[in-house]
Amino acid sequence: MEKKLGEYYTDGRTIEYSIIGEGEPIFVFHGGHSNCNEEFGYEALIKNGFSIITPSRAGYGATSKEIGKSLATACEYYNKLLNYLGIKKVHLLAISAGGTSGIYFASKYPEKVRSLTLQSAVTKEWLTPKDKEHKAAKLLFHPKTEKYTWKFISRMNNLFPRFIFRQMFPSFSVLSYKEAKSELNENDVEEIRKMNHRQRSGYGFLIDLEQINEISAKDLHSVSCPTLIMHSRYDSSVPVKHAEFANENIPTSKLSLLDTWRHLIWLGVASNETDEKLIGFLENCSIKDYKTGKKTMK
């Protein structure tokens, strides 16, 4: 997949972004510890005629942490990026910790949004200060330490890929490794190794922990575009109750619970289901084929 990288400068701030493919645009709010180099699930979308625009969210990659002053400020800048690129309307794809950005953007900029897909998405309170995971995250993924955390993880992953895969398994799935073993793809271990090499937290993850508290049920109620909520039944990173909460509060939503074995719904033998359901949903929400101009509304 040929990737075009760019940076948009405005108000003394920078937004780093990537564009892959040509066709009807999908605007991706990547998950935590990621950036514009994200690639999970992209291949099937590109093959089916979509283009993917991925900004590094506030504090991630080369994107200024200052635009993460609030969820409202961050979304204002994401909208400026779309205006700069000359894109009038997009499908939103919001992943994991990027879920709240997708929900807020869809609720505040409905004229820009053709559809919203939430994948393994955070939709309400998550990792509060009372949680031990929150305390660990504040230490391990602090801007002063996260570089060394990810260097250590990636180095160990190179040396002992299967061992690291097994060690990380409980953080992604409520199933035991033995229970899920038959659902694994032979390349899942390598995909995790590659993921750990591109992961960085910057200031972004701490910003995520703050911005998640800014989303409300009112924001979900305000989403008016067709919405697909995709979530693994066995997700331990973001419990399935987040998907159920979104489905209860977004009037236009459809909930799709998947049998993939973990938080990363693009891995495992059931990952084809993820691609098929998403592409079917996007095609139903499309206005036209960008190459032919032919109507494709079903």
What is the Cα–Cα distance from 259 to 232, expressed in whole angstroms?
6
Locate the domains of the chain by residue range: 3-127+208-285
Comparing CA positions, the residue from 135, 141, 123, 131 lying closest to residue 235 is: 123
- What letter represents residue 132's amino acid? K
Q: How many angstroms from the chain centroid is the CA of residue 10?
A: 24
Task: Provide the CB-side half-sphere exposure for 260 (13 A, CA).
Answer: 28
Q: Helices marked H in 109-259 — which ranges?
A: 132-140, 146-159, 161-168, 177-180, 188-198, 204-211, 217-221, 241-249
Predicted confidence at residue 222, as pLDDT, reads 97
pLDDT, position 295? 28
pLDDT, residue 291, reads: 38
pLDDT digits (tens, 9 = 90+) for 207-220: 999 999 899 999 99
- The confidence score (pLDDT) of residue 292 equals 34
If the chain, 298 residues long, is cut into consecutive pieces of 10 residues, what is the mean pLDDT of each piece? Answer: 92 97 96 95 94 98 97 98 97 97 98 97 90 87 94 95 93 90 90 93 95 94 97 95 97 94 90 93 73 32
Give the pLDDT score at 287. 58
The active-site residue out of 96, 120, 232, 271 is: 96
pLDDT of residue 286: 78
Fold of 3-127+208-285: Rossmann fold (3.40.50)
96 is catalytic: yes
